[in-house]
Amino acid sequence: MSSIAVIGSVNLDLVATVKKLPEAGETVTDAELNRFPGGKGANQALAAQRLGADVHLIACIGDDASADEALVLLQEGGVDLSRVQRVPDMPTGTALIAVAQSGENHIVVAPGANRSLTPDMLTLSDADALICQLEVPVDTVAKAAQEFGGFVCVNLAPAMHIDVSILQRADLIIVNEVESSWYGDSLSAASGMIATTFGAAGAELSKNGEDIARAKPPRIETVDTTAAGDTFTAALTVALVEGQGYEEALQFACAAGAAAATKLGAQPSLPTRDEVLALL
Ligand code: RIB
């Protein structure tokens, strides 16, 4: 079993399911409201654990009731939370999410305690792989990537300015097509692989500007795409660290992301390995 460290965010997701997403300035009503554990870091940690890895999460939560609610599925799933730190007088990260009947979403994040995961708070330990995203301070991600000895995957979401050292150190960079356009030519500084996802159209894996694999997800009934990218990130890292070939690993990651889009909510939708294999 591979061991994975995840450095990242923990959020409580407040999810309004609506017929259609509002335009700027528009009010839509008749929504159904749900609360789900989320946060890109926490989602990636639980996704990797459900896919068969032994995962520990390095994160900050607030000093409030949302913290316990946000951690409950990670605890039930067996993710090691001994390096999750509770920050006094801070709220737990919260995401306001609107999900349309089409499965598309809008997400607004109030990071709260996730901002407290500064470089001096890092407690890195040995693992086969490290997964980071950008919902915690970028300096922390840069330091972790430099100091970690194993395989480093950085999901550049949400898109923001990063130190080039992250691109030079990461073995695997993951972006969706919106993030890929946002980063543009700056991604050419990446020394490792870049995986780009295109939703239902699949994903491609490249290195030094050359395609090394392409894959399409299985056909599914889309309910909610929240955390599909997090599941893809976890699955591709798990598969590559296990030694799967590029095509096989990318196919596995596409199927895992698709599986996550078949259910409502971030963490309730994360598939087990058997559920992914059944889709392949
Ligand atoms: O990637 C999905 C996640 O983004 C949600 O769970 C939400 O918390 C935001 O961080």
The better pLDDT of the pair 9, 103 is held by 9
**pLDDT in the model for residue 278:** 96
Mean pLDDT value across residues 194-210: 96
Which residue segment(s) compose the domain that 221 sits in?
Answer: 3-10+39-92+114-279
**pLDDT in the model for residue 124:** 86
* Centre of ligand 1 from the C-alpha of residue 35, in Å: 12
pLDDT exceeding 90 applies to what percent of the chain?
96
Mean pLDDT value across residues 23-49: 97
- Domain of residue 185, CATH code: 3.40.1190.20
Q: Is the pLDDT of residue 38 over 90?
A: yes
The answer to whether 67 and 89 are in contact (CB under 8 A) is no
* Centre of ligand 1 from the C-alpha of residue 26, in Å: 23
Q: How far is the C-alpha of 279 from the C-alpha of 243, rounded, in Å? A: 21
Mean pLDDT value across residues 227-245: 98
Mean pLDDT of the chain: 96
Alpha-carbon distances, residue 182 vs 112, 199, 231 (angstroms): 25, 17, 22
* Centre of ligand 1 from the C-alpha of residue 210, in Å: 30
Which atom, in ligand 1's list, is nearest to the CA of 226?
Answer: 2
**pLDDT in the model for residue 71:** 98
**What band does 213 get if pLDDT is binned at 50, 70 and 90?**
very high
Would residue 274 show up in a list of annotated catalytic residues for this protein? no
**pLDDT in the model for residue 102:** 86
Residues in the ligand 1 pocket, defined by CB under 6 Å: 9, 11, 13, 38-40, 43, 95, 107, 109, 135, 226-227, 229-230, 266
**pLDDT in the model for residue 103:** 83
Structural domain contains residue 98: no
Structural domain contains residue 30: no
**pLDDT in the model for residue 207:** 97
pLDDT tens digits for range 113-152: 999 999 999 988 899 999 999 999 999 999 999 999 999 9
Task: Name residue 54's amino acid.
Answer: D
Counting the structural domains of the chain, the total is: 1
* Centre of ligand 1 from the C-alpha of residue 47, in Å: 13
Which atom, in ligand 1's list, is nearest to the CA of 267?
Answer: 6
Structural domain contains residue 235: yes
**pLDDT in the model for residue 164:** 97
pLDDT tens digits for range 48-100: 999 999 999 999 999 999 999 999 999 999 999 999 999 999 999 999 999 99
- Helices assigned H by DSSP within 96-195: 138-147, 164-169, 177-183
Mutate to test the pocket of ligand 1, among 57, 114, 132, 135 (most ligand atoms within 8 A of CB): 135
**pLDDT in the model for residue 125:** 82
Structural domain contains residue 103: no
pLDDT exceeding 70 applies to what percent of the chain?
100
Structural domain contains residue 267: yes
Which atom, in ligand 1's list, is nearest to the CA of 12?
Answer: 8
* Centre of ligand 1 from the C-alpha of residue 40, in Å: 5
The answer to whether 98 and 18 are in contact (CB under 8 A) is yes
Residue bearing the CA closest to ligand 1, atom 2: 227
The better pLDDT of the pair 104, 216 is held by 216
**Among residues 30, 185, 230, 274, which one is catalytic?**
230
Structural domain contains residue 26: no
Structural domain contains residue 220: yes
DSSP state string for 132-158: E-SSS-HHHHHHHHHH--SEEEEE--S
Mean pLDDT value across residues 233-241: 98
Structural domain contains residue 104: no
- Of 22-26, 121-125, 169-173, the least confident: 121-125
Mutate to test the pocket of ligand 1, among 230, 263, 264 (most ligand atoms within 8 A of CB): 230
